[in-house]
Amino acid sequence: MPMHGFTDAYSTYSMNQFVLIRIENDDGKIGYGEAPCTVTVGFYGETLESTTIAIRNYIAPALIGADPLNVRKAILIVNQTHGAAFLAKTGIDIALHDLAGKILNVPTSTLLGGAQRATLPVASEIGIVEPEQAAKESIRLVELGFKVIKLKAGNNAETDVKNARAVRDQVGDEIELRVDPNAGWSRYESLKAIKELTKCDLAYVEQPLPRWDLEGLAYLRKTTGVPIMLDESVWDPHDVIKVVEAKAADLINIKITKAGGLKNSIDIYTTAQASGIPCIVGTELEACVAAPAKLQLASSFEDLPFAVEFTELAYQNMLLDKPLKIENGCLHLPGGPGSGLYPDMKSIEQHKVAV
Ligand SMILES: [Mg+2]
């Protein structure tokens, strides 16, 4: 599906892609999942094609006959079958939770421990652009209802600072700003840029340094006093433990796709929570049922100090049966069972490609 062009430190995205997954039980109940494939080769090393083959040829045959109410066991089967296919695992995991939720007539958030809130503040990103364009984009996002904006950065630290300044001057003090260089700055650039960025009143800086440089991240936390959120450094609970030991993070950005599903996301959240590190849920430009699944996940967190990322609402059409409407900077948790919303099959048929 074509999307409004979006650039980060890795790539430019102009096409949204995902694999739609359907898991059916013996009673004809259907769980839907989305394997988001837009942010692919540069970051995950996986594609629409590899995801389709992992599911069709390996995971789907292994899941036939599994108990749909034993989601953990089904995920274990997936891990034993094709454990390294993160995008495929994510879509299957979302579909398994959706199916179990529909069988029990409860939302996915109940399966994850229970919803702690019915409305969730949301954020959108602005891709890497020139300062004038960033200011223009910020007006568009505020008009769409966002009260939190994250600026993508990491190609040029000087431009990144100018962009933050331009957006802060444009939106005033009411809008919360965050900056994400996607591991694109050096230690030196980070020290210099963060010093300037503090003048723009940032909530936090996300992953300024490469994922492996926990020592550098701890140094930045100590010397700049600006909260550091880690994204690329945290893929699983073991990473959380390493990050805590290195004192490298104030916050963690969990993405369902990076974690390989909702079950793994909850495991990361619980480990971080036990260490006193709050989490948010980030975006992977979800276009279909992974978006409401993200709401289900974030709603189950006991503490959610910062907005959940929903950049997709600003850059593409959503292929869902009902719109996700921003009200007062927030989205409502959908009320239905499972993920709470259904794929918009009519639109999906129009965009469908055979793989
Ligand atoms: Mg990030």
pLDDT digits (tens, 9 = 90+) for 187-242: 999 999 999 999 999 999 999 999 999 999 999 999 999 999 999 999 999 999 99
Amino acid 42: pLDDT: 75
Give residue for tokens 């793989």.
355
| Mean of pLDDT values over 159-177 | 97
- Give me ligand 1 centre to Cα 183, in Å: 8
Residue 119 corresponds to which tokens in the numbers above? Answer: 């409305």
Distance CA 212, CA 219 (A): 13
In this prediction, residues 134-143 reach a mean pLDDT of 98
Same CATH fold assignment for domains 2-106+344-351 and 111-332: no
The pLDDT value recorded for residue 355 is 86
Residue of 93, 125, 160, 206 marked active site: 206
**How far does the centroid of ligand 1 lie from the alpha carbon of residue 157, in Å?**
16
- Domain edges within the chain: 2-106+344-351, 111-332
Give me ligand 1 centre to Cα 340, in Å.
Answer: 26
Distance 119 CA to ligand 1 centre (A): 23
Q: Compute, in angstroms, the gap from residue 69 CA to the centroid of ligand 1.
A: 33
The arithmetic mean of pLDDT across residues 39-62, rounded, is 91
DSSP string, 73-140: HHHHHHHHHHTT-HHHHHHHHHHHHHHHHHHHT-BHHHHTT--S-SEEEEEEEE-S--HHHHHHHHHH
Is 158 an active-site residue? no
The CA 23 to ligand 1 mean position distance, Å, reads 31
Q: Which residue in 17, 6, 24, 58 sits closest to 40, CA to CA?
A: 17
Angle at 31 between CA 323 and CA 90, to 5 degrees: 85
Of the residues 102, 255, 258, 263, only one is catalytic, namely 255
Cβ–Cβ < 8 Å for 202, 173: no
Report pTM.
0.97
76: Cβ–Cβ under 8 A, 6 or more apart, which residues? Answer: none
Average pLDDT in the 332-348 region?
Answer: 96
129: pLDDT strictly greater than 80: yes
Pick the CATH number of 2-106+344-351 from 3.40.50.2300, 1.10.3720.10, 3.30.390.10, 3.30.300.10: 3.30.390.10
Cα of 127 from ligand 1 centre, angstroms = 12
239 catalytically annotated: no
What tokens does 211 get?
A: 């994922």
Instruction: Please give the pLDDT value at position 354.
Output: 85
Provide the pLDDT for residue 5. 85
Q: How many CB atoms lie within 10 A of CB 71?
A: 22
| pLDDT over 90 at 40, yes or no | no
Answer for the pair 129, 152: CB distance below 8 angstroms, yes or no. Answer: no
- 83's tokens: 């454990």
**Among 147, 152, 263, 294, the one annotated catalytic:** 152
pLDDT at 79 over 90: yes
Question: Which residue among 98, 231, 239, 344 is the active-site one?
Answer: 231
Residue 135 CA, ligand 1 centroid: distance in Å: 21
Of the candidates 125, 143, 174, 109, the residue with the CA atom closest to the CA atom of residue 326: 143
Q: Which of 179, 142, 154, 181 is nearest to 164 (CA)?
A: 179
Mean pLDDT, rounded, for 253-267: 97
User: Residue 173 catalytic?
Assistant: no
How far apart, in whole angstroms, are the C-alpha atoms of residue 1 and residue 14? 9
pLDDT for residue 44: 85
Class of domain 111-332: alpha beta
Q: Which pLDDT score is estimated for 39?
A: 80
Compute the distance between CA of residue 149 and CA of residue 144 in angstroms, rounded to an integer: 12
Reply yes or no on whether 255 is catalytic: yes
Tell me the per-residue pLDDT of 247-257, one tens digit each, with 9 for 90 and over: 999 999 999 99
Backbone angles phi, psi at 25, to 5 degrees: -100, 180
Distance 92 CA to ligand 1 centre (A): 23
Question: If you average pLDDT over every residue of the chain, what do you get?
Answer: 96
CA of 181 to the centre of ligand 1 (A): 8
Token pair, residue 240, equals 């959380």
CA max distance for the chain: 60
Active site residue 26: no
Catalytic annotation, pick one of 180, 189, 232, 309: 180
Residue 208 CA, ligand 1 centroid: distance in Å: 9
- In angstroms, the CA 217 to CA 20 distance is 37
Task: Provide CB contacts within 8 A for 64, sequence distance 6+.
Answer: none
The pLDDT, as a whole number, for residue 41 is: 75
Residues 6+ apart with CB under 8 A from 274: none
What's the pLDDT score for residue 209? 98
148 DSSP β-pair partners: 123, 176
Distance 196 CA to ligand 1 centre (A): 20
Within 8 A by CB and 6+ apart from 205, the residues are 178, 179, 180, 181, 190, 194, 197, 226, 227, 228, 229
* Residue 43: band (very low, low, confident or very high) from pLDDT cuts 50, 70, 90: confident
